Structure 1
Amino acid sequence: MSGATLGQNNKATNSETSVHLEDVSPSPPIHSSEDGDCPTQSLQDPRNWPRWKKNAQILMVAFHSCVSTFMAAGIIPAYDMFAEQYGVTVPDASYLTSFQILLLGLAPLLWNPVTAVYGRYHISMFSVLGSMVCNIGGARCTTYGGQMATRVLTAFLISPPIGNGSGVVTDLCEPEKRAQKLGWWTLMTTIGTPLGPFLMGFVTKHLGIQWIFWIFAIINFCQFLVYVAIGDETIYNPENERKRSGFFGKLIPRKITSHSLSPRDFVAPFSLAMTPRVLIAACAHAITFCYGNIAMIVEMPIAFGEKFHFDAQQIGLQFIAIIIGCVLGEQVSGPMCDWFLKRVRQSRGYSCPADRLWLSYIAFGTIYAGLLTWGFQLQHATTWNVTPCVGAAIASFGNQMQTTILTTFAVESQKERSAEVGVFVNVCRQIYGFIGPFYLPHMFTALGFGGAAGVMVAIVGGCAMIPIIAVQFVATRSAKH
């Protein structure tokens, strides 16, 4: 199983076992007894790397995840120009993004077991080089079918870190900072969605749509150079330690484990559906992410472009609100989540992953307030004003909080399968998000922005928050015993 390979040196004795206060040191190493690890003396063991190198690997995988969503959403301001150039409708042009969203969810299922055998480092380098080639092809495309092919291939090739990012964080960071470091990864993954159309709106207006893809290709090439310079393999297997010599030795691809790929490895993450805590957290996250992020981003060109007759650059500027909300939400969620868990341990002597879920209710509350503000203010606006953007920022704040909190809870519930948890959460989020653009425009047309916002709030409350309340109640009671 790929999860067993990825978690071989990071096995938890019991994901819901209470952590007693006397076992918690002020700054425990990553191979502390809390995670059930045994320290090694090998310099190739990522747990023995200096702190700067660990943080560098986490930031690289976080930026890689950001680029994957950045490129999928970056073409949104150019839908009208794509429709005109390729002779298709604007909804047809939007499928260039929709199918990338779907591939970003499904492709990690294929990459995860391959990564477990051949390592994250070389797969990441292949990922950015392949994406760069496809983006160069996108800049030269003259047909809709050709452009669709380059977008699908780009999404497939750039997707590995969206699935294995949680494994990198779990392998490299200390337990008491796990939410903060997972927050780096989730923030970058989330912020790529509004950042892409924000920046590419300027490019579309002043340079043309071809330069969207040239810029994507340049970013991929810069990523490759950074991987070569300071990147390294974050999966360590002491039974089959990699033999390498010097700088160029690490660049040679080789198997990092004796495990051979089997068809079972490619469907292994779906077995997590049998774990209620992971399944409920993943589904709740998918629902809130769709309505607290994707719905507003997909509707931005229609809501502001058609209602206020904005051009590509003006539409792109509206995404600043979502970016601000995401950044502020992460400043609160990750550090606060870790601080809260520490306070719980100090007050009652133990803690469990479900204690993190107390903060998720703040996230749900801000999502409700933000969506309703965005929907009703946008519906009643006759000329542009800032209030719908304020609502979008508030909803994005809550969305980022729940992303970090629910992802951390899911990972800590199955730490020994952390990479597979990341893949499973991503599949749920991207598939549900892929379906959204097919019915969201019709819902907004039929109900208006205010009515649609009310429906989305009801769905988030009934299908996301109530199940989280239930899973927290059960998990907390089991931790006491």
Structure 2
Amino acid sequence: MKNNNPDESMHLEDVLPKTQMNDYSGDEEWPSRSMQDPRNWPSWKKNAHILMVAFHSMMGTFMAAGIIPAYDTFAEEYGVSVPQASYFTSFQILLLGLSPLIWNPITAVYGQYNVSILSVLGSMVCNIGGARCTSYGAQMATRVLTAFLISPPIGNGSGVINKLCQPEKRAQCLGIWALMTTIGTPAGPFFMGFVIKHIGVQWIFWIFAIINFCQALLYLAIGDETTYNPENERETEAFYGKLIPRRISSHQLELRDFLAPFSLVVYPRVLVAACAHAITFCYGNIAIIVEMPIAFGEKFHFDAQQIGLQFIAVIIGCVLGEQVSGRMSDWFLSYLRQKRGHSCPADRLWLSYIAFATIFAGLLTWGFQLQNAQEWNVTPCVGAAIASFGNQMQTTILTTFAVESKKDRAAEVGIFVNICRQIYGFLGPFYFPDMFAALGLGGAAGVMVAIVGGAALLPVIAVQFVATRTPTLQESQEEHEG
């Protein structure tokens, strides 16, 4: 939106440096003149909040998956089977998907800062309880409560990042958030495998609690409210005042506020991107991670630490995939703008086909090589790394496409994508053991590739074909203004 008011321009120059003002050309609104508006923050503060939100999101998946190497220990300690012990993770996956439905409306009224403080402190208390549990039911209760409390940024992280970063860096910033959320899944069992072997399973929860405490200190030290409401602008307050929760909006919560993300099903671009991401993430990430302890533990008789080391492959694949997807996606759109004078969010989907190809190759390599291995060798891990590379690429590209397709509801888009991913992922561990037992690792990998191809790749091709020929009203306005 262009600004033709010379008085307002003069005021904005007093607040923003020229380089920052130029970042808000085109489709972005001018920031307010208040320094409480996150768009007026210095770059270091914006980047710090993006990293804090990304790390907070990572802790949700990190804590859910961190207990995976301890399934055998839990089964013995609580007198249950290993599949029953795996439900500790399954139910956390489900809660990480559904809880943001509750947290997002609360965040809109009480602010992201207050909710984040409550989130990490509440999670810390539950993790302390987890270290002291002596029964299966009590441990399940602490895991469910922890997942509920730690989940807010998994849903609203995309909205926070959408406010803090500039359009030309949006995919890169969303990619950092997506990478951190994804990498928590393999990083949890990787690090906790060492903990279980050397200092005991209870220290999993003590370490979780210590991390939560450090997060709380960081929020108190440099954290600030990322939701700006000019009608409720607060005065500068002392440090202890940040501990007192207060409303940032006079809006009264209603039932429809909690169900609002589901209304996004009427937008085909968001729906297809969310469902394709959910299916691909389930088989390109969750299936490999859930099966890793069972396959390597039973086939090669690995202990918790040795199983944890196998997750290095998944971590490497995720990190490399993000280096390609975030920067390349932003560069590709910039290149198209220079070459043909315009671009649209659907142009990002061209790069998603690289992601699907590597997922197919990685899954098949992982499945068949692991099935045929008589003793441990690196080839199944190479397959897992290739699949993780593609999975991270599609996570960043499809999430960014969904957010840019409905930028005015970015936070709700993030929640909707997360709901689809977590619910579909929650169902996986219930049928994965039977599928691998009946078809073998190679046959199951083939089935997963077929599902991803038919239920994820083909719909993405269709939505790109339609989206590049029928731009939305918002895209037409942006192109005209640009």
TM-score (norm 2): 0.93
Cα deviation code 1:67-92 (max 9, x no counterpart): 11000000000000000000000010
The structure whose RCO (Cα within 8 Å, separation 6+) is larger is 1
CA distance in 1, matches of 2:388, 2:106: 34
- The equivalent residue for 1:224 is 216
State whether residues 70 and 195 of structure 1, in contact with CA within 8 Å, keep that contact through their aligned partners in structure 2.
Answer: yes
- Cα distance 1:203–1:87, how it changes in 2: closer, same or farther (>3 A)? same
Cα deviation code 1:180-211 (max 9, x no counterpart): 00001000000000000000001111111100
Cα deviation code 1:233-280 (max 9, x no counterpart): 001011221234233333321111121111110000000011110000
Amino acid at match of 1:316: G
1:156 counterpart = 2:148: yes
- The equivalent residue for 2:250 is 258
Cα deviation code 1:120-142 (max 9, x no counterpart): 00100100000000000000000
- Cα distance 1:28–1:478, how it changes in 2: closer, same or farther (>3 A)? farther
CA distance in 1, matches of 2:320, 2:23: 31
- Cα distance 1:425–1:29, how it changes in 2: closer, same or farther (>3 A)? farther
Cα deviation code 1:423-454 (max 9, x no counterpart): 00000000000000000111111001110000
CA distance in 2, matches of 1:451, 1:29: 56
1:302 counterpart = 2:294: yes
Amino acid at match of 2:92: Q
State whether residues 67 and 188 of structure 2, in contact with CA within 8 Å, keep that contact through their aligned partners in structure 1.
Answer: yes
Could you tell me which of 308, 312, 323 is aligned with 2:304? 312
State whether residues 31 and 37 of structure 1, in contact with CA within 8 Å, keep that contact through their aligned partners in structure 2.
Answer: no
Superposed, 1:450-461 pairs within 5 Å as 450-461=442-453
Secondary structure of the residue aligned to 1:37 is coil
Query: Shift of residue 31 of structure 1?
Result: 6.8
Gaps of 5+ in 1: 1-8, 10-25
Could you tell me which of 49, 56, 77 is aligned with 1:64? 56
- The equivalent residue for 2:126 is 134
Amino acid at match of 1:322: V
CA distance in 1, matches of 2:251, 2:446: 50
- The equivalent residue for 1:213 is 205
CA distance in 2, matches of 1:48, 1:27: 12
Amino acid at match of 1:182: L
CA distance in 2, matches of 1:147, 1:407: 33
Could you tell me which of 82, 100, 105 is aligned with 1:108? 100
1:419 counterpart = 2:447: no
1:410 counterpart = 2:398: no
1:329 counterpart = 2:321: yes
Superposed, 1:7-156 pairs within 5 Å as 29=21, 32-156=24-148
- The equivalent residue for 1:448 is 440
- The equivalent residue for 2:392 is 400
- The equivalent residue for 1:20 is none
TM-score (norm 1): 0.93
Q: CA RMSD in A?
A: 1.4
Amino acid at match of 2:157: G
Secondary structure of the residue aligned to 1:477 is coil
Superposed, 1:262-411 pairs within 5 Å as 262-411=254-403
Query: Shift of residue 35 of structure 1?
Result: 3.2
Secondary structure of the residue aligned to 1:471 is helix
CA distance in 2, matches of 1:198, 1:450: 24
Query: Shift of residue 178 of structure 1?
Result: 0.1
- The equivalent residue for 2:226 is 234
State whether residues 276 and 457 of structure 2, in contact with CA within 8 Å, keep that contact through their aligned partners in structure 1.
Answer: yes
- The equivalent residue for 1:22 is none
Secondary structure of the residue aligned to 2:63 is helix
State whether residues 203 and 212 of structure 1, in contact with CA within 8 Å, keep that contact through their aligned partners in structure 2.
Answer: yes
State whether residues 28 and 174 of structure 1, in contact with CA within 8 Å, keep that contact through their aligned partners in structure 2.
Answer: no
Count of aligned residue pairs for this structure pair = 457
Cα deviation code 1:368-418 (max 9, x no counterpart): 000000001001100000000000000000000000000000000111100
CA distance in 2, matches of 1:381, 1:317: 18
CA distance in 2, matches of 1:412, 1:80: 44
State whether residues 78 and 209 of structure 1, in contact with CA within 8 Å, keep that contact through their aligned partners in structure 2.
Answer: yes
Could you tell me which of 452, 461, 468 is aligned with 2:460? 468
CA distance in 2, matches of 1:167, 1:353: 17
Identity %: 79
State whether residues 30 and 47 of structure 1, in contact with CA within 8 Å, keep that contact through their aligned partners in structure 2.
Answer: no
CA distance in 1, matches of 2:392, 2:195: 27
- Cα distance 1:179–1:237, how it changes in 2: closer, same or farther (>3 A)? same
CA distance in 2, matches of 1:192, 1:367: 19
Amino acid at match of 2:346: A
Cα deviation code 1:151-182 (max 9, x no counterpart): 00000000000001001110000000000000
Amino acid at match of 1:403: T
